[in-house]
């Protein structure tokens, strides 16, 4: 079965939406051989406003994180 470029675009966009929805719910998504997507907590910290140089408090937040799978890592580092 050969897919058209438009069909591939639809499939890829659907996968991205599923990953976004899962991360939004705090779930982990694993694609075997490729990698996994999950959330990491970035701790609160002190930062600086680049415009004024004033110290600002940056609150704790969740950020998306991707970890490559073993097969992809080996392919890239052959």
Q: Residue 11: give its domain's CATH number.
A: 4.10.520.10
Predicted TM-score (pTM) of the model is: 0.76
Q: How many Cα atoms sit within 13 Å of 67 on the Cβ side? A: 9
Spatial separation of the C-alpha atoms in residues 31 and 15, rounded to whole Å: 11
HSE, side-chain direction, 13 A CA sphere, residue 60: 4
> Domain of 38?
5-76
Q: What is the pLDDT of residue 50?
A: 94
Tally of structural domains, the chain: 1
Flag whether pLDDT at 78 surpasses 90. Answer: no
pLDDT, one tens digit per residue, over 10-67 is 999 999 999 999 999 999 999 999 999 999 999 999 999 999 999 999 999 999 999 9
Give the pLDDT of residue 1: 83
């Amino acid at each position: 079965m050969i897919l058209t470029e438009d069909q591939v675009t639809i499939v890829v966009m659907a996968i991205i939406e599923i990953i976004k929805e899962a991360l939004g719910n705090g779930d982990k998504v694993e694609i075997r051989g490729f990698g996994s997507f999950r959330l990491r907590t970035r701790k609160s910290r002190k930062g600086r406003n680049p415009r004024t140089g004033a110290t600002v408090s940056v609150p704790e937040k969740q950020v998306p994180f991707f970890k490559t799978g073993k097969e992809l890592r080996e392919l890239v580092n052959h």
